Amino acid sequence: MIMKNKAEEAAKQILSAFESPESLPGPIARVIVNRRDGSPCRKWSWRNQLIVAINGYSEARGFRQWDKVERRVKKGEKSIRILSPLSKSIKDKNDEDRIMVYGFRGTPVFGIEQTEGKPITGCDREVLAWLNDLPLREVADAWGLSVEAYNGSGANYAGVYRHDQSIALGVKDLSTWCHELVHAADHRNGKLQGSSKPSQEIVAQLGSSVILTILGFKHDADLGRCWSYIQQFAGESTDKALKKCGEVLDRTCDAVALILDEAERLSLEPAANSERGETNETI
């Protein structure tokens, strides 16, 4: 109950700030993830890179592309499909040749973890370090969620949660990260349903700000964007948006408490194991 009470206290402070939205700071500028490791998939569309990321892979290639770097797809691995354009040459009204895209086909590719062979060099250490250092990353790991990044330039989504499988991020932004983690907690609480719905998006965005406020990342809580986002899903009037927040307040606090309780449990595990004499050392 301690974490639930902390979540409720922080949420009420945030809702109080929302009562005068004109006094909220402006949204923080997001830093787009732009991976620079030379992998062929970095040249793919953001949609295809997102497909790779939500499947839990840092990079992916086709059979021949893996052959070129002396890696082989492991026996029994199933491909994921990206969308490749179908095009043809046509004559325009000036009788000049131009390329027209008339459709797409699914192209099979495999993630690096599905292959074996010569080590790949040139990984994007900066992005990997950022992903590993995300606050509460251990909670996602404990819940079996992979966390990957995709190039967010031009993307329609800053982040995506795939049920019980992964979180993909297209921006270096703690608010977006916590938004997707709250979706995961909401799902574990049995409240998340299907595709994007106003209530679950309000839960995720408000929950994100609550978490970051509790952890001391008040600047990253990004109340200006949080309010704009909630208004987008709740309606234009302040009263209507605040009412919607109130309707999902308990659900939001339950999701936040689940995350913080899990983080606390994980932080106590090493101490508990030590008291029982459990170590990873071999004699």
What type of residue sits at position 205?
Q
For the full predicted model, state whether its pTM sits above 0.85. Answer: yes
Question: Does residue 280 belong to any structural domain of this protein?
Answer: no
Looking at residue 142, its pLDDT comes to 98
pLDDT reading at 139 higher than 60: yes
Q: Give the up-direction half-sphere exposure of residue 171: CA atoms within 13 A in the CB hemisphere.
A: 19
Note the pLDDT of residue 36: 85
Q: What is the pLDDT of residues 214-223, one digit of tens each?
A: 999 999 999 9
> What is the residue range of 8's domain?
2-36+123-268
Does 94 fall in a domain? no
Average pLDDT over residues 231-240: 85
- What's the pLDDT band for 270 if we cut at 50, 70, 90? low
47 belongs to a structural domain: no
Residue 84 within any structural domain of the chain? no
46 inside domain: no
Cross-strand partners of 107: 82
In a domain? residue 105: no
CB 199 within 8 A of CB 248: yes
Q: How many domains does the chain have?
A: 1
Measured in residues, the chain has a length of 283
Element of type H or E holding 232: helix 223-234
Q: How far apart are CA 32 and CA 175, in angstroms?
A: 13
The pLDDT tens digits of the residues spanning 30-75 come to 999 998 888 999 999 999 999 999 999 999 999 999 999 999 999 9
Is residue 201 within 8 A of residue 229, CB to CB? The reply is yes
How far apart are alpha carbons 79 and 238 in whole angstroms?
A: 47
Check residue 276 and give its pLDDT. Answer: 53
Residue 138 lies in a domain: yes
- Per-residue pLDDT tens over the stretch 98-132: 887 778 889 999 999 999 999 987 778 899 999 99
Strands of the chain (E only): list them. 31-32, 60-61, 71-73, 80-91, 97-111, 115-117, 146-149, 159-162, 166-169, 171-172
pLDDT value of position 282: 33
